[in-house]
Amino acid sequence: MTSVKIAVLSIITVLIAWNSNAQDIDYAKKTIEILSSAKMHGRGYVKNGDFKAARFIAKEFKSIGLEPLSDNYFQGFDFSVNSFPSKMKFKVDDNLLSPGYDFLIDPASPGIKGSFPVCILKEYSNLNALVNRLNSRKESFVLVVDWFSLSDLSEEKRNELKANLARFQRNGFSKLSAIVEYSTEKLTWTGSTGLLSLPRFTVKASEFGLNENSTLTFNVKNKFRKEYHSNNIIGYLPGENTDSVIVLSAHYDHLGRMGKGCYFPGANDNASGVAMLLNQARELKHVKRPYSILFIAFAAEEIGLLGSGYYVAHPLIELDRIKFLLNLDLAGTGDEGIQIVNGSIHTALFSKIQTLNRRDNLLTKVKTRGAACNSDHCHFHERNVPSFFIYTLGGIKAYHDVYDRYETLPLTAYDGYFKLLNRFILSL
Ligand SMILES: [Zn+2]
């Protein structure tokens, strides 16, 4: 072959490679944009958000050519969940607070309607003094806990106060109608399968002029659903060896809506991981592989790893046939590389992924840590299925809040991360 031909061929090869990378990231972007759009309602338990996302993922599985393991890709299960589908009004005097930006409601809260005077807690000595103070109120009121003024409390006293507030919230207390806490940290929401007696709010303090003479007005409606139905989405790619299976998983649920006007997009957590999972499926479909691969988009991770818990109790492929599980969450940054949970347990595999990374110069850092029950790999790990849980590091601070949006998700290291995972899966 002449050198001109070699040059032309290598340009074509580079163009093909460049083009396929561009397609990968374009596909990921499109997927993340769809999954974190308002139409998916935060992929939670309001307006069928989780089911809309599930249907979208199942459609993608089908068009990629993954096989269902039953009549369809869905593995359904039920659980209880508290939700806030409609009214979410909170006023400090005449100031209307914005849900998600100015305040959060504790996910286990019941609804509340009405106007209330406040009792502001700026110091704490013991439970008796607190109870006496609260019992002296003859009308319904809201307890405002000023954690800024309480910042000098000892660790022990702080924990004691927190435990007492939790008890009030669980059981109710005298004329107490709600608890409002000044947040000293960023607002971070979560979900709840249970319902408690008192509503509890976290507010960004100081901006609303809340004082001893303030009136707080609420109109909040909750909906507690005893048997909510959700679905893991499961697709299969048979390889030469069907006795041994590699599992690639990522949860698709997020926190849903907090009232009509506020939703949690969950672009990084975990539309990004689902996009990576789908992208790997698209790629692996065309590659000769010794092992079969099972792709699972788990439901209900955010409220207690429920989808993966259901799967390990009702596996469609037996757990002892799983050679390795790779769980992906928060795949959308990577400025500071990736972190591998269980990396210090499966050291040979950790060395392998590190070597691949160094060889091809893909990510700035591949970090290791021990076991942590912080995502869906946990149930598998506890049943002796070898697993890694990988998340990207650096980039944005948005997490479990209204700022985890597609528009600001950097996807800095997506291409390198995609290649590293692909090469690692094929090396297993
Ligand atoms: Zn997550």
Look at residue 15 and tell me whether its pLDDT is greater than 50.
no
pLDDT tens digits for range 84-100 = 999 899 999 999 999 99
CA of 403 to the centre of ligand 1 (A): 15
Per residue in 16-40, pLDDT (tens digit) is 444 457 778 999 999 999 999 999 9
CA 338 to ligand 1 centroid distance, Å: 15
The CA 60 to ligand 1 mean position distance, Å, reads: 20
Distance from residue 46's CA to the centre of ligand 1 (Å): 18
Question: Residue ranges of the domains in the chain?
Answer: 26-82+226-427, 87-220
Task: Tell me the CA–centroid distance for residue 36 and ligand 1, in Å.
Answer: 13
Rounded CA separation 374/381 (Å): 11
pLDDT tens digits, 39-62: 999 999 999 999 999 999 999 999
DSSP string, 226-293: EEEEEEEEEEEE--SEEEEEEEEEEE-----BBSTT-B---IIIIIHHHHHHHHHHHHHTTS--SEEE
Å from CA of 231 to ligand 1 middle:
16
Quote the ligand 1 centre to 302 CA distance (angstroms).
7
CA 412 to chain centre: 20
Distance 270 CA to ligand 1 centre (A): 5
Q: How far is the CA of 206 from the centre of ligand 1 (A)?
A: 31
Give the residue-averaged pLDDT of 219-248.
Answer: 95
What's the confidence (pLDDT) of residue 379?
98
CATH number of 87-220: 3.50.30
26-82+226-427 is classed CATH 3.40.1710.10: no
Question: 66: helix, coil or strand?
Answer: coil
Distance CA 191, CA 291 (A): 37
Residue 22, Cβ neighbours under 10 Å: how many? 11
The verdict on pTM exceeding 0.75 is: yes
- E strand map for 299-386: 322-328, 338-341, 366-369
pLDDT of residue 6: 46
Report the alpha-carbon distance of residue 142 to residue 147 in Å, rounded. 15
Over the stretch 374-388, which tens digit does the pLDDT of each residue have?
Answer: 999 999 999 999 999
Cα(157) to ligand 1 centroid in Å equals: 32
325-356 per-position pLDDT tens digit: 999 999 999 999 999 999 999 999 999 999 99
End-to-end CA distance of the chain: 36
